[in-house]
A and B are shown apart, each in its own frame.
Chain A
Amino acid sequence: MKSSNLTYLQKFKSQFNPSGYQFVLLDNQGIIVESCNTLFNLDFYQGLSAFTFIPFLESIQETLIEMNVTDKPLYFPRLDIPFFSHHHIYDFTFQRFRPNNEASFIAWVVKDNTLQYHYLRQVQQERNMAIVKSERSRLNG
């Protein structure tokens, strides 16, 4: 749809990134084949193995390489990673994507959940501090 044909609501929505997702395809060496760059720009790293410069991926590379199309997607919630100068909280999902007989990729889906988890972190922080305080007063008392 052309921009001029958008409804007022669609024009308003177009100012935002409603998905908050980034999609990346890696080959079996971890080389970045394609990235939509919605959350962070990986163009500079195209052709390089993400296993060599992202420690998280390095630590699970054996599992990623062995994934099959029939396997359930691997889900890693609440990853607190200083990532390309962004200090956000992400959910990562990985699955094998085989669009045809010749091509096979590790599909990596990144969801930025920083805002949602910010509230959860505050609640958890208060809860944990209350538990520690209660335990200390019980022991001292």
Chain B
Amino acid sequence: MGKTSLVRRFVFQEFSDEYLTTLGVRIDKKVVELGDYTVNMILWDIAGEVAQTKVPVSYYLGAHGVIYVFDVQRPSSFENIKADLDYIQSKLFDAPICVIGNKKDLISEGELQKLSEQLPVEVSFFTSAKTGENVELMFAQIAQRMLNT
């Protein structure tokens, strides 16, 4: 899906084509200036699972926002999207959720449009960890939404 690549792009401004699986959870931190506020973003990059119900419940503790990432090229990464989001919302009632379609550099704008229309949920951003497109914007938006809640 590219979750780790998105975090690396955001925190370290770097990208690698090499795939390295995440075993459980990786923790990173970035301080973001949002208007008059300084936001400490502690990012829990959680290993991809077939379904969210497989994620250890303790990983949800302390979460103030969620970025749900799927791969625009892989239907298996978004075929459970509605059930996954319903489950996350049942665990984190008030947390804002950003839905992200990553790897937008690999398909055309027309295909993205078609994909948006087919999905049962609204996509917040289509991003590319490779080019950096929409990555800062997406993290800034979730930070702002967390501030507002």
Contacts and interface: CB of A to CB of B under 8 A. Distances in A.
Nearest to B25: A79
Count class of interface residues, chain B? 20 to 34
B110 interface: no
B29 interface: yes
Interface stretch (A9-17, A25-33, A128-136): A128-136
B77 to A, nearest CB: 9
Interface string A96-136: 00000000000000000000010011001100110110011
Contacts of B120: none
Contact of B58 (A55, A74, A120): A74
Contacts of A136: 73-74
Contacts of A75: 56, 58
Interface residues of A, number: 29
A131 B61 CA distance: 30
B65 to A, nearest CB: 12
A76 interface: yes
Interface of B: 19-29, 40, 42, 44, 47-48, 56, 58-59, 61-62, 73-76
10 contacts: A56-B27, A59-B42, A63-B61, A77-B56, A78-B23, A80-B23, A81-B26, A117-B23, A120-B23, A135-B76
Interface of A: 55-56, 58-63, 74-81, 89, 117, 120-121, 124-125, 128-129, 131-132, 135-136, 139
